Amino acid sequence: MTQLQGAAPIVVLRGVWKTYRLGSLPVHALRDVSLALRAGDLVAIMGASGSGKSTLMNVIGCLDLPDRGSYLLEREDVRSLSERQLASVRNGKIGFVFQGFNLIARTPALENVELPLVYAGVGRRQRRRRATEALEQVGLGDRLRNQMTELSGGQQQRVAIARALVTNPTMLLADEPTGALDSETSRSVLGLFSRINAEGRTVVLITHDEDVAACAKRVVHLLDGSIVGDERRAALDDPPPALAPPVALHGSAG
Amino acid sequence: MNVLDSVRIALRAIRANRLRSGLTMLGLAIGVGAVILLVALGNGAQRAINKQLEDLGTNTLTVFPRGVIGPNKGTQSRPPKLSLDDVAALQRRGPAAGIRRVVPVITPSATMVWNGTSYSPQVLAGTTPLYLATQNFAVARGRLFDETDDRERRRVMLVGQTVIRKLFGGESPIGQRVAVNGSRFEVIGVLASRGGGPVDQDDLVVAPLGAVESNLTGANPDLGSILVQATSRSTIPLAQRTIRSTLLDTHHITDVNDADFDIFNQSMILEVANKTTAILTLLLAGVAGISLLVGGIGVMNIMLVTVSERTREIGIRKAIGAQRSQIIGQFLLEALVLSGLGGLIGVVGGVGLGSLGTKAFQPAVSLTSVIVAFSVSVLVGLFFGLYPANRAAALRPIDALRYE
């Protein structure tokens, strides 16, 4: 990905509302959210539980549609897409990483990573090659045949990241990616995200954890469904903070 | 995503739940196996009946004195009897009246003694050589008796397989002399086995009428029965009418209701039995079909459980871009693989069990039943897999992902 493309906004949310019903009470999970994310950025969307950050991730990830407002993903109006097209968008443009890994049980790592390519209709041989590359990229080149039960939490999350990367998506969308990991494993997974970003891929981290946000170049704060803060901590073209000299990392890790 | 990928995903899911998948398949396997086996049993029964039909001799009617088969109403002035005069009267009517052959049979009770062993066969038939031809008897060893044996009242006889076993201890009896009620008869032949059925048709001794008459019963004996062979299958009713009118005449009976004889059309009864068996086969197949249906509902049940148990997995698959049709395909294929494998196991089991059998009764597996049962099991899987598959595909990814 070149710096030129890096300047163009890939996600543009304008006046997005999302309302759920809890019994007879409407709950506004998102209130008039407007947000633009640029290619090549490493963004953390922060907020406490109930702030609407998961809803925002669902909307950005095309798992859910906004009730009001517009969402353009690479200039395409997501609200006008059919269910079929949405599935294709999720498959090709977005790579999800979840807190609970969400890998398919009793299935080897390689096949888990291949799965998005299976759904994309990629041929068997090419699939195998790309999935192997993705696993090598996350440092699991020697764990292709392992079942999920044979892998540690950190390794499972790496498999999930490989699965998210394998389709070469527009952005990686990670929901509390370190929520189920110990601090050391968390650091190594965050390092992986930083490296992926340094290679030019857009990464969006949804988290409540300041340690996670410390890796981001830009931090967006959500509160009660509205954006209450938006700070840039590193320039878009700069390397991610976690890859900056160790002094800076120590400073933020406390 | 090609079919092979889908099959692989389905097989993986089935392997992941071996016990449950196995039990589901068992339901369908039992259904398919039951259909094949029960149809095989029905077919076997029908074949056995058809074989008996052939064995009985074609176009044959049997006349019994009243009371031998069926009730005797007791209106006759003298005890019901058939005599050689009746045979002669029937023979005179000839082919014009539908009668080809008339065979007298006397069946005295007899006890045979050989080498210190005694045995009473179910039937000792004193009859003419035509009897053997009419009844389609074949000789396994030795020879049949002929006109000369009959005319010269030679004391010879043919024995059935059961008699060989019971009296001769399985040894070859040909040339042996056996005391029958005190008279010595020489065994000249062994009848080929006719197998079982409701009556052991091998527990039989056949001897020339003349010899039996002069040694066991005395002259002009009462006949046990008269066999009448019609000129063809279509003249059986004509022959039956001829027999009735002739015998009423020779017995000087005016009212048909007072007849002192019964005409027994065995092939007709067997045909009825044949039809009954066919209906029974259908019925059995129907019952087995219901178990197949129940097996199908088992598949639906399991697939529904699977769908709700794997809601999260469905959510993951949708999140990473699975199309609705791909989810439907996966679950439908799982149902199909379950039902197909179950059906296959049933086919193997049903054909295997259907190939077993005794000498007396041999089931006959029909290819049609195998094909139909297997196809139905696959269709059942498809049909009952459709609803769960649709439910899985209709799940919204965020709901499915949130599901714990």
Residue B3 structure tokens: 């079919």
pLDDT band at B81 (very low <50, low <70, confident <90, very high): confident
pLDDT tens, position by position, B129-177 = 888 888 878 888 888 888 888 888 899 999 998 999 888 888 888 888 9
Q: pLDDT averaged over chain A?
A: 88
pLDDT of residue A6: 46
B101 touches chain A (CB under 8 A): no
> Nearest by CB to B322, which of A92, A105, A119?
A119
Tell me the sheet residues that pair with A30: A18
Per-residue b or e along A74-112, where b marks 16 or more CB atoms closer than 10 Å to that residue's CB: eeeebeebeeeebbbbbbbbbbbbbbbbbbbeebbbbbb
pLDDT tens, position by position, B346-403 = 999 999 998 887 776 788 888 988 999 899 889 888 888 888 888 888 888 888 887 7
pLDDT band at A220 (very low <50, low <70, confident <90, very high): very high
> Nearest by CB to B320, which of A64, A84, A116?
A116
Kindly list the residues from chain B whose CB atom is less than 8 angstroms away from the CB atom of residue A102.
312, 315-316, 319, 401
**Is the pLDDT score of A247 beyond 60?**
no
Residue B190 structure tokens: 């062994």
**Considering just the CA atoms, what is the radius of gyration of chain B in Å?**
33
Q: Which of A125, A134, A130, A186 is nearest to A159 (CA)?
A: A134
Distances from the Cα of A14 to the Cαs of A11, A66, A249, B18, B54, in angstroms?
10, 10, 34, 50, 91
CB atoms inside a 10 Å sphere around CB B113? 15
> Nearest by CB to A104, which of B313, B323, B397?
B313
Using DSSP, state whether B200 is helix, strand or coil: coil
Using DSSP, state whether A2 is helix, strand or coil: coil
**Residue A104 to residue B324, Cβ atoms within 8 A:** no
pLDDT of residue B349: 93
Q: pLDDT averaged over chain B?
A: 85
**Is the pLDDT score of A219 beyond 70?**
yes
Kindly list the residues from chain B whose CB atom is less than 8 angstroms away from the CB atom of residue A63.
319, 397-398, 401
**Residue B321 to residue A87, Cβ atoms within 8 A:** yes
**Is the pLDDT score of A246 beyond 60?**
no
B5 touches chain A (CB under 8 A): yes
pLDDT tens, position by position, A163-192 = 999 999 999 999 999 988 898 999 999 999
Q: Which of A165, A116, A107, A201 is nearest to B316 (CA)?
A: A116
Distance from B302 to chain A by nearest Cα, in Å? Answer: 19
pLDDT of residue B69: 65
ipTM of this model?
Answer: 0.87
Residue A247 structure tokens: 């002094």
**Is the pLDDT score of B240 beyond 80?**
yes
Helices (H) and strands (E) in chain B, counts: 13, 12
Interatomic CA distance for residues B363 and B39, integer angstroms: 9
CB atoms inside a 10 Å sphere around CB B150? 20
Stretch B224-247: mean pLDDT: 89
Q: φ, ψ for residue A173 (rounded to 5)?
A: -120, 110
More confident site: A12 or A243: A12
Kindly list the residues from chain B whose CB atom is less than 8 angstroms away from the CB atom of residue A167.
321
Contact assessment for residue B58 and residue B233, using Cβ atoms and an 8 Å cutoff: yes
B171 touches chain A (CB under 8 A): no
pLDDT of residue A128: 94
Measured between CA atoms, the residue of chain A closest to residue B318 is A87
* Length of chain B, in residues: 404
**Is the pLDDT score of B197 beyond 90?**
no
Distance from A215 to chain B by nearest Cα, in Å? Answer: 25
pLDDT of residue A2: 43
pLDDT band at A20 (very low <50, low <70, confident <90, very high): confident
Interatomic CA distance for residues B158 and B369, integer angstroms: 43
Distance from B395 to chain A by nearest Cα, in Å? Answer: 12
**Which residues of A have a CB under 8 Å from any CB of B?**
58, 61, 63-64, 83-84, 87-92, 96, 98, 102-107, 111, 115-116, 118-121, 124, 163, 167
Kindly list the residues from chain A whose CB atom is less than 8 angstroms away from the CB atom of residue B4.
124
pLDDT of residue B56: 65
pLDDT band at A252 (very low <50, low <70, confident <90, very high): very low
More confident site: B111 or A244: B111
Stretch A187-203: mean pLDDT: 92
Beta-sheet strands, E only, within A39-170: 42-46, 68-73, 76-77, 94-97
Stretch A13-24: mean pLDDT: 90
Burial degree of B356 (CB within 10 A; 0-12, 13-18, 19+): exposed
Parallel/antiparallel/unpaired status of strands A25-38 and A9-22 = antiparallel
Residue B366 structure tokens: 């029909």
Interatomic CA distance for residues B349 and A214, integer angstroms: 66
**Is the pLDDT score of A254 beyond 70?**
no
Q: Which of B44, B48, B31, B47 is nearest to B372 (CA)?
A: B31
Q: What is the DSSP letter of A228?
A: E
pLDDT of residue A89: 94
CB atoms inside a 10 Å sphere around CB B404? 5
Distance from A94 to chain B by nearest Cα, in Å? Answer: 8
Interatomic CA distance for residues B335 and A243, integer angstroms: 50
pLDDT band at B3 (very low <50, low <70, confident <90, very high): confident
Ranking B108-122, B208-222, B225-239, B269-283 by mean pLDDT, the lowest is: B269-283
pLDDT band at A117 (very low <50, low <70, confident <90, very high): very high
**Is the pLDDT score of B266 beyond 80?**
no
Kindly list the residues from chain A whose CB atom is less than 8 angstroms away from the CB atom of residue B5.
118, 124
Beta-sheet strands, E only, within A83-181: 94-97, 171-175
> Nearest by CB to B12, which of A83, A90, A107?
A107
Element (H, E) at A58: helix A53-60
Interatomic CA distance for residues B45 and B370, integer angstroms: 18
Q: What is the DSSP letter of B220?
A: S
pLDDT band at A237 (very low <50, low <70, confident <90, very high): confident
B394 touches chain A (CB under 8 A): no
pLDDT of residue B105: 93
Interatomic CA distance for residues B285 and B275, integer angstroms: 15
Contact assessment for residue A206 and residue A54, using Cβ atoms and an 8 Å cutoff: yes
- Dihedral of the alpha carbons of A132, A136, A140, A142, in degrees to the nearest 10: 70
**Residue A90 to residue B398, Cβ atoms within 8 A:** no
**Residue A64 to residue B398, Cβ atoms within 8 A:** yes
Stretch B18-45: mean pLDDT: 88
Kindly list the residues from chain B whose CB atom is less than 8 angstroms away from the CB atom of residue A112.
none
Residues 295-334 of B with CB under 8 A from A: 312-313, 315-324, 326
**Is the pLDDT score of B291 beyond 50?**
yes
B3 touches chain A (CB under 8 A): no
**Residue A102 to residue B401, Cβ atoms within 8 A:** yes
**Is the pLDDT score of A248 beyond 50?**
no
Interatomic CA distance for residues B359 and B370, integer angstroms: 24
> Nearest by CB to B319, which of A96, A121, A124?
A96
Interatomic CA distance for residues A161 and A97, integer angstroms: 6
pLDDT tens, position by position, B94-114 = 888 889 999 999 998 889 998
Tell me the sheet residues that pair with A72: A12, A77
Q: Which of B74, B32, B108 is nearest to B380 (CA)?
A: B32
**Is the pLDDT score of A245 beyond 60?**
no
More confident site: B348 or B18: B348
Using DSSP, state whether B332 is helix, strand or coil: helix
- Dihedral of the alpha carbons of B328, B331, B334, B338, in degrees to the nearest 10: -110
pLDDT band at A4 (very low <50, low <70, confident <90, very high): very low
Distance from B30 to chain A by nearest Cα, in Å? Answer: 29
> Nearest by CB to A115, which of B320, B396, B397?
B320
Residue B117 structure tokens: 């062993």
**Residue A63 to residue B313, Cβ atoms within 8 A:** no
Which residue reads 């000792």 in tokens? B124
B1 touches chain A (CB under 8 A): yes
Q: Which of B311, B315, B347, B329 is nearest to B390 (CA)?
A: B329
**Is the pLDDT score of B34 beyond 80?**
yes
Q: What is the DSSP string of B111-152?
A: -EEETTEEE--SEEEEE-HHHHHHTT--EEEE----HHHHHT
**Residue B318 to residue A83, Cβ atoms within 8 A:** no
B7 touches chain A (CB under 8 A): no
Q: Which of B298, B275, B272, B110 is nearest to B207 (CA)?
A: B110
pLDDT of residue A251: 42
Per-residue b or e along B313-347, where b marks 16 or more CB atoms closer than 10 Å to that residue's CB: bbbbbbbbbbbbebbbbbbbbbbbbbbbbbbbbbb
More confident site: B342 or B49: B342
Q: What is the DSSP letter of B253?
A: -
Per-residue b or e along B269-296, where b marks 16 or more CB atoms closer than 10 Å to that residue's CB: ebeebbeebeeebeebbeebbebbeebb
B19 touches chain A (CB under 8 A): no
> Nearest by CB to B321, which of A103, A106, A120?
A120
pLDDT of residue A250: 46
Distance from B354 to chain A by nearest Cα, in Å? Answer: 39
Interatomic CA distance for residues A170 and A218, integer angstroms: 18
pLDDT of residue B195: 67
